Amino acid sequence: MSIDPKPAVVLLSGGLDSTTTLAIARAEGFEPLALTFAYGQRQKVELDAAQAVARAQSVSIHKVVTIDLGTFGGSALTADIPVPKDRPPASAAVPVTYVPARNTIFLAYALAWAEVTGAFDIFLGVNAVDYSGYPDCRPEFVAAFERLANLATAAATTGRGRFVIHAPLLALSKAEIIKRGVALGVDYGLTRSCYDPQGDLACGHCDACALRHAGFVAAGLVDPTRYVTPPKGQR
């Protein structure tokens, strides 16, 4: 742990991946500034989870920014489109839970906050192994945003520093992510991943529940999630 940790903006949804990413940022010696979006998503329990996670990990500044992606619609997470259930795991298509340009918008805000606070590091919990097939979760997207950040900002173009977009989960399986988090002391009971929760219960049948549950099973750990009906497969 460095004596004078560098600030880093960490995108925190309250889900399993971003919560693990927050713990990794801290473990790598950064002082995390957590950024959460109330973006019109149907899974509002995410926001409570993000608050609980930020408290549990002693985040000194946690900003929740309200942005209305519902104004554009086009996704099952922000419009009146059903969340798909029990999808075949190897489906190649981008599912309707994809939110157009979501990670581009989130990273753009993170970049703004980073520049204002003097941070040059941004952490993002995207993962391209056990994921829903969203294009803005792939390494080439992350690399392209990093390149953009270093052309877009006064901080980078006047030589004060160089932005780095950290995506430490990119190449990890869900089981590896969970094992990493557990080793860092993450309490996954605080996190929420479900795309279509019923109150405080996860649906158990959307892509996010399926991936999450399979991850705990593969890691040989107990899944602390409370489901309406548990996901298929080993329990």
Residue in this structure with the two tokens 């590091």, named with its chain if needed: 121
| Binders of a second copy in range 71-100 (CB under 8 A) | 71-74, 93-94, 98-100
Does residue 111 touch a second copy according to CB under 8 A? yes
The span from the CA of 50 to the CA of 38, in Å, is 11
Task: State both tokens at 164.
Answer: 């780095």
Rounded least distance, CB 116 to a second copy, Å: 4
Cβ(33)–Cβ(9) under 8 Å? yes
Contact 83, 195 (CB under 8 A): yes
Residue of 38, 56, 65, 228 interacting with a second copy (CB under 8 A): 65
Q: What contacts 142, CB < 8 A, 6 or more positions away? A: 124, 126, 165, 167, 170
C-beta neighbour count of 36 within 10 angstroms: 23
Minimum CB distance to a second copy smaller for 98 or for 188: 98
The whole-angstrom separation of Cα 101 and Cα 69 is: 10
**Using the rule CB under 8 A, is 223 a contact of a second copy?**
no
Q: Which is nearer to a second copy, 36 or 191 (CB)?
A: 36
Tell me how far, at minimum, the Cβ of 15 lies from a second copy, in Å: 20
Which residue stretch of 50-58, 102-110, 181-189, 219-227 sits at the interface with a second copy (rule: CB under 8 A)?
102-110
Strands 164-166 and 121-123: parallel
Q: Contacts with a second copy in 144-173 (CB under 8 A)?
A: 144-145, 147-149, 151-158
Question: How big is the site for a second copy, counted in residues (CB under 8 A)?
Answer: 47
Give me 38's structure tokens: 């109330």
> For binding to a second copy (CB under 8 A), which residues are involved?
63, 65-69, 71-74, 93-94, 98-105, 107-109, 111-113, 115-116, 134-136, 138, 140-141, 144-145, 147-149, 151-158
